[in-house]
Amino acid sequence: MSDPNGGRFVAVFCGARTGLDPAYAEAARTVGRLIGERGLGLVFGGGRVGLMGVVADAALEAGAPVVGVIPRSMVDKELAHTGCTELHIISTMHERKAMMAERASAFLALPGGVGTLDEVFEAITWNQLAIHDKAIGFLDTDGFYQGLRTWLNHAADKGLVPQSTMDRLVFDPDPAAMLDRLAATDDLKVHR
């Protein structure tokens, strides 16, 4: 079966909870809708709850192919999203991250907790080690990632994070602008 979007997927990392600020769910909904409207696909953690469920539902409603990747141990806990175009039930978190990275043309972190940071930091590490060369974005909804951005800049200023890594990181509060910026650096553009 051919891939209708040409294999251009955004890996979205985000919370299995919606958080206290309704802006987080609204941003997730907008990201999912824009992914579909732009002819892209979504690859995500495979849960139907929290921001994961919001972004997946919006992408599906907008006609995007949606690939969920969820460890067997989390199927019941995260309530696997059975409406995905593809749902991969795998063995480990490492396998989840590897499959998501393999399918992705770019990575995008929405608000989330320590699991979100684990996933996005592995993508950053793999970028730094030249395992991939894909852009990584942080949707900075209501300044959610400003503290992390400050820390990353501090680590770079102290010589612990190379400038080449910092150059691949994109911070933006606007979902449309974020996808534009990721597309400017990666294979998310429609090829004509």
How far apart are alpha carbons 171 and 149 in whole angstroms?
8
Tens of pLDDT, residue by residue over 125-136, are: 999 999 999 999
Tell me the residue range of the domain where 24 lies: 9-184
Q: Does residue 51 form part of some domain?
A: yes
CATH number at residue 146: 3.40.50.450
Considering its fold, how many domains does the chain have in total? 1
User: 95, 16, 82, 106: which is closest to 54 by C-alpha?
Assistant: 16
Lookup: tokens for 117: 């940071």
> Binning pLDDT at 50, 70 and 90, where does residue 7 land?
confident
Q: Does residue 111 form part of some domain?
A: yes
Q: At which residue do the structure tokens 């989330």 appear? A: 112
Q: 154-161 contacts: CB < 8 A, separation 24 or more?
A: 161/128
Q: Does residue 17 form part of some domain?
A: yes
Q: Does residue 31 form part of some domain?
A: yes
The model's pTM is 0.93
Q: Does residue 13 form part of some domain?
A: yes
Q: Does residue 189 form part of some domain?
A: no
